[in-house]
Amino acid sequence: MYRVIAPSKTTCEICSESREDISGYLKVCKDCVKKGSEKAKELIFEAHRKAREKIGLPPVPPKDPKGVKCNFCGNDCQISEGGIGYCGLSKNVRGKLVRELGTSEIGLVYGYRDAHPTNCVAQPWCAGGAGAGYPKYSKSKEGPEYGYLNASLFLGTCCFHCLYCQNTDWHRMIKNKKEMMKT
């Protein structure tokens, strides 16, 4: 038997409005975020810091002027001796940049076969989800094709940390470093 849980209200720490659509993690409403106040920015950065601290990652991209520069992404990390980059995959080992995963040779990838096109991000443009390219690339003229499988892949080497991202598996993947795929 399923139990229905009523959504709880959270109070915005800026405007004091209490609503169900305010994230209890962020503690700020969308209207205050859109206004771009310094307090809203502080609350968002604090949520990022807490989320990243839980998984052992730096709260912000490291910028040690004496550190090793990492050019794998746009975060422009400068990693101190013995430290790690914002992604958790680049390290400074005795003054040299070391990256064992998330390279052109080896990735951190989790995948499974999924009924097509359930939650696929590309579904609106995919041949199997929209009938695009019929008859060469899809079996039906329009709409989703049922009865087929989709390869769902999640990369564990994302260099950002969007709090709204549906792919939270990358946290576990970076920590465990187990789902490796070689080219």
Q: Write out pLDDT tens, residues 113-151.
A: 776 655 666 677 777 777 788 888 888 888 777 777 777
User: How far is 62 from 91, CA to CA, in rounded Å?
Assistant: 11
**Range 60-69 average pLDDT:** 96
User: How far is 149 from 151, CA to CA, in rounded Å?
Assistant: 7
**Range 43-57 average pLDDT:** 88
Domain extent, residue 38, equals: 10-54
Q: With contact defined as beta carbons under 8 Å apart, do 26 and 14 qualify?
A: no
Does any domain span residue 59?
A: no
Q: With contact defined as beta carbons under 8 Å apart, do 53 and 45 qualify?
A: no
Residues 93 and 111 in one domain: no
Does any domain span residue 164?
A: yes
Residues 178 and 123 in one domain: yes
Predicted TM-score (pTM) of the model is 0.70
Residues 117 and 170 in one domain: yes
Pairwise pLDDT comparison (107 vs 86), residue with the higher score: 86
Does any domain span residue 173?
A: yes
Can you give the length of the chain in residues?
183
* C-alpha to C-alpha distances, 146 to 125, 127, 143, 149, 181, nearest whole angstrom: 16, 12, 9, 8, 29
Q: How many domains does the chain have?
A: 3
Residues 111 and 178 in one domain: yes
Residues 34 and 78 in one domain: no
